[in-house]
Structure 1
Amino acid sequence: MMNTEKSELEVLLEKHMEEENRYQFERFSPEDAKALGEMLYEESKSCKRTVGVEIRMNGESVYRFMPGSCNHENGKWLAAKANTVEMMGMSSLHVRALLAKEGATLEDKKMNVVEHGTLGGGFPLFLKGTGMIGTICVSGLWHEDDHALILRVLDRFIADKAC
């Protein structure tokens, strides 16, 4: 008899794919990036930790805010998460789960460990019918909380944008 139960990693991978399918935009402009970035920063204040935020479109930073207590390390993580999302076309936490399932490393995917990272807090910016046009990244919380922060704010942002 075959075991048809899914492993924890398979369930996690499905969850990340569902998130990436759910959080897509009909349209997204640099003005939207500014509004989303400011929402991420405002929401992060309730976490009692300073969070750096960067949104890229087509590889270019269109919004970046590093509050005073952020440091160089936060900036390096923002870049590493964005590079991973840009390279793989999925959230950095999704990449982490994928590598774990495959028993693979960043190097196996031809990704430099200095320039890429598989901690949560990097998310793809998708346009429906077009594909990935950018990244949304935060750094400053526990990496899974960075990911959750993005999802919470995307829920509100997309709902507000639909009005």
Structure 2
Amino acid sequence: MSESARLLELRRQEEELVFPSFDQHDAWRLGSLIANHAIAENHGVAIDIRRHNIVLFRCVLPGVTSDQQEWIRRKSNSVLRFEHSTAYLTEQFSDYDPTQGGWLAPEDYTLAGGSFPIRVQGAGVIGAITASGLTSDEDHQLVADGIRDYLQTLA
């Protein structure tokens, strides 16, 4: 079975967007960069960066509802469990929803796009960066573009 073009694109994106290292200072700078972009675009989003259960950055912009807290938690859980972006997982599981049928609890996981793994060279996935408030694709793009922009500042 061949992979879809979108799945291959998302895999390449994950392979490209890898951090040389990542600490609390990186979380602040990256989160601020994404938040400033969202503010400039007048996006009502919540942005969360976590290292497993420790929140390293959180920003809630005007227009966000309490639902975004739950979406962030569930998206982050999915990334931390599978070590892939929720956009990748959505594409990978396009014919089967693992939150149905007892595999993954739908109250704890979702495949909605907008969460991306924090992958560090030599260490693997150490956390997740999540946006919620736009469409799944827009949430994903906001995070991926933010990571790409941030990594370029490190080069």
Deviations 1:87-143 (A, max 9, x none): 11100010000111xx22123682111211111100000001210000000011111
Instruction: Name whichever of 87-96 and 66-75 sits farther off.
Output: 66-75
Matched, 1:76 2:44: no
Segments ≥4 residues shifted beyond 6 Å: none
Q: Is 2:110 aligned against 1:117? A: yes
**Which letter maps to 1:52?**
A
Give the one of 21, 28, 35 matched to 2:29.
Answer: 35
Alignment partner, residue 93 of structure 1: 87
Rounded to whole Å, the distance in 1 between the matches of 2:74 and 2:44 is 18
* Amino-acid identity (%): 21
Cα contact 2:75–2:130 (8 A) shared by 1: yes
Q: Which residue does 2:143 correspond to in 1?
A: 150
For 1:24, which of 9, 12, 18 is the aligned residue? 18
Q: 2:96 maps to which residue?
A: 104
Residue among 133, 136, 155 paired with 1:140:
133
SS at match of 2:112: coil
Cα drift, residue 59 of structure 1 = 3.1
Computing the radius of gyration from Cα coordinates, the structure with the larger value is 1
Aligned residue pairs total 154
Q: Distance in 1 between matches of 2:81 and 2:60?
A: 24
Q: What's the TM-score once normalised by structure 1's chain length? A: 0.88
Maintained 8 Å contact 2:90/2:112: yes
Distance 2:102 2:136 in 1: 21
Give 5+ residue unaligned stretches, structure 2. Answer: none
